[in-house]
Amino acid sequence: MFWRIATFLLCQFLPALALWNIAPSDQQSVDALIAAIAGCYVWLVWDAMRGKRLLSWLRAGDTTDIPLGSGLWGEVFDRIRKLVRARDRAALESERRLQDFLAGLQASPNGVVMLDVEGRIEWFNQTAASHFGFDARRDMLQHFGNLVRDPGFAAYYASRNFQLDVKMPGRNSSASKPVNLSVHLHPYGEGRSLVLSQDITSKEQAEAMRRDFVANVSHEIRTPLTVLSGFVETLQSLPLQADERSRYLDLMAQQAQRMQTLVSDLLTLSRLEGSPLPTHMEWIAVSALMAQCEQDARDLSRMLWTQSHPLRFTANTVCEIAGSASELQSAMFNLIGNAIRYSPPDMAIEISWNSMADGSAVFSVKDYGAGIAPEHIPRLTERFYRVDRSRSRETGGTGLGLAIVKHVSQRHGAELEIESSPGKGSRFSITFPAQRVRIAVSATDV
């Protein structure tokens, strides 16, 4: 402020002094006054120009420096510039935070949609876009209620009662590939809303599977139990001949055996689900697995059919396989057991182990029995699925065998493949990956 007054005074005093010295003595005071007034105007113009430069700088929002030097305007400029810089820094920081926040929401596995007070879409993440079929360029600022037209959701949206969520099909849902969403609207702020959507398809499928599983297990156990209790009642209430009695006891033993098989299969499945994956440390000779299968197969065939099927076991190499011996044995024998159960005893069954050029190996069981209609094939590995319940029941099947085979295959990184044609027979094969197969150490020594 001092310099401002000083320059103002100097602008009047210096020209006045100069003219005082050079003007004729009778005009000295008039000329000096005129010079002082002119100096005053010059100062005013110069000061106004500095003020104008600052004003233009403020209007343009330009962040470059303008050299206003010292003085009042210089200081005003300096202070404003500092304030503007602090504001820019704060704006940048909040922009960065906003971007971080939006990136976090973008990465969310759930759909997030932000609505303004009018219910128009202000922002949504990629997951919400795929759930509701939104397009970022087309649907921004559109009314959410106009874009999501599911009747269940429309009723929920209109009710304005958002305590619970609502279930609705996703935009890409189809009969063959259903997509189920749970959508929950949360009001916040002053009339705004946050819509959260979650894909609950697999959760619902798991829940349905659990329900089916419990219903199936109960049904499978109830049937032999009913038969057993019927026989017990008969034995208790009727005086029976020895041969009748022994026939009933045989039938009771069959039912008890059925329940035992069911429980043991269920335990196998739960063990498979609960135990860690088989390592690559334990190497098992395929010939030993095949030999055990052969012996069990002959016993089973004789037990079920009184005569043994023509069984052909072949292997093109002497291999070892990495995994769990008991699991592999159970999977391989399940396939052979099915071939024995579901084909007549005069039909051959071919069991083979083939090492492939890429290092993988295929274990396959081929029979010439009844075969399976194509519509059943995709469902065969479902738990309790049987093509012909009565036929399977006659032969003691619970419908868990192929579920176990599939599980064991997956645990060994292998793939189960089923080919079958009704009346011609079936071929079940498990392809083991190269990492789990090697030529037997003893075979390479030879």
Contacts 24+ apart (CB under 8 A), 90-99: none
Nearest distance in Å: CB 402, Mg ion: 6
Regarding 387 and contact with ligand ATP (CB under 6 A), the answer is: yes
What is the x/- site pattern for ligand ATP, positions 249-268, by CB under 6 A? ----------------x---
Q: How far is the CB of 405 from ligand ATP (least distance, A)?
A: 7
CB of 219 to ligand ATP, least distance (A): 14
Sequence-distant (6+) residues with CB within 8 A of 30 are: none
CB atoms < 10 A from the CB of 36, how many? 19
Q: Which of 35, 289, 400, 408 binds ligand ATP (CB under 6 A)?
A: 400
Residue 397 Cβ vs ligand ATP, minimum distance, rounded to whole Å: 3
When asked if residue 399 is in the footprint of ligand ATP (CB under 6 A), the reply is yes
- Give the shortest CB-426-to-Mg ion separation in angstroms: 12
Size, binding site for ligand ATP by CB under 6 A: 22
Interface segment toward ligand ATP; rule CB under 6 A; list 108-116, 130-138, 142-150, 391-399: 391-399
Partner that binds at residue 372, options Mg ion, ligand ATP, none, CB closer than 5 to 8 Å by kind:
ligand ATP
* Site membership for ligand ATP, residue 297 (CB under 6 A): no
Residue 303 sits at φ, ψ, to 5 deg, of: -65, -40
Per the DSSP assignment, residues forming a β-bridge with 352 are 314, 364
Give the bridge partners for 417, in sequence order.
429
Residues of span 286-345 touching Mg ion by CB under 5 A: 338
Start-to-end CA distance of the chain, whole Å, equals: 106
| Cβ nearer to Mg ion, comparing 166 with 403 | 403
> Between residues 351 and 370, which has the closer beta carbon with respect to ligand ATP?
370
Query: Distance between CA 310 and CA 313 in Å, rounded?
Result: 10
Instruction: Find the residue with minimal CB distance to Mg ion.
Output: 401
- The nearer residue to ligand ATP, 148 or 402, going by C-beta atoms, is 402
**Residue 398 interacting with ligand ATP (CB under 6 A):** yes
Residue with smaller CB distance to Mg ion, 197 or 409: 409
Q: Is 15 in the site for ligand ATP (CB under 6 A)?
A: no
Amino acid at position 163, single letter: Q
Task: Map residues 343-382 to x or -, x wherever contact with ligand ATP holds by CB under 6 A.
Answer: ------------------------x-xx-x-------x--
- Contacts of 144-147 spanning 24+ positions with Cβ under 8 A: 144/113, 144/115, 144/119, 144/120, 144/195, 145/119, 147/121
CA angle 70, 74, 77 (to 5 degrees): 155
CB of 384 to Mg ion, least distance (A): 11
Residues 61-90 that bind ligand ATP (CB under 6 A): none
Contacts to ligand ATP from residues 416-435, by CB under 6 A? 426
Phi, psi for 413 (deg, rounded to 5)? 70, 20
150 binds, among ligand ATP, Mg ion, none (CB under 5 to 8 A by kind): none
The reply to whether 401 sits near Mg ion by the rule CB under 5 A is yes
Nearer to Mg ion, 338 or 420 (CB): 338
If the CB atoms of residues 144 and 342 are measured against ligand ATP, the closer one turns out to be: 342
Using the rule CB under 5 A, is 392 a contact of Mg ion? no
Q: Is 338 in the site for ligand ATP (CB under 6 A)?
A: yes
Q: How far is the CB of 331 from ligand ATP (least distance, A)?
A: 11
397 in contact with ligand ATP (CB under 6 A): yes
- In terms of residues, how long is the chain? 446
**387 interacts with, out of Mg ion, ligand ATP, none, CB within 5 to 8 A per kind:** ligand ATP
The CB-of-277 to ligand ATP minimum distance in angstroms stands at: 22
Please count the residues of this chain forming the interface with Mg ion, following the rule CB under 5 A: 2
Binding partner of residue 426 among ligand ATP, Mg ion, none, CB cut-off 5 to 8 Å per kind: ligand ATP
- The footprint of Mg ion (CB under 5 A) covers 338, 401
- The footprint of ligand ATP (CB under 6 A) covers 265, 334, 338-339, 342, 367, 369-370, 372, 380, 385-388, 392, 397-402, 426
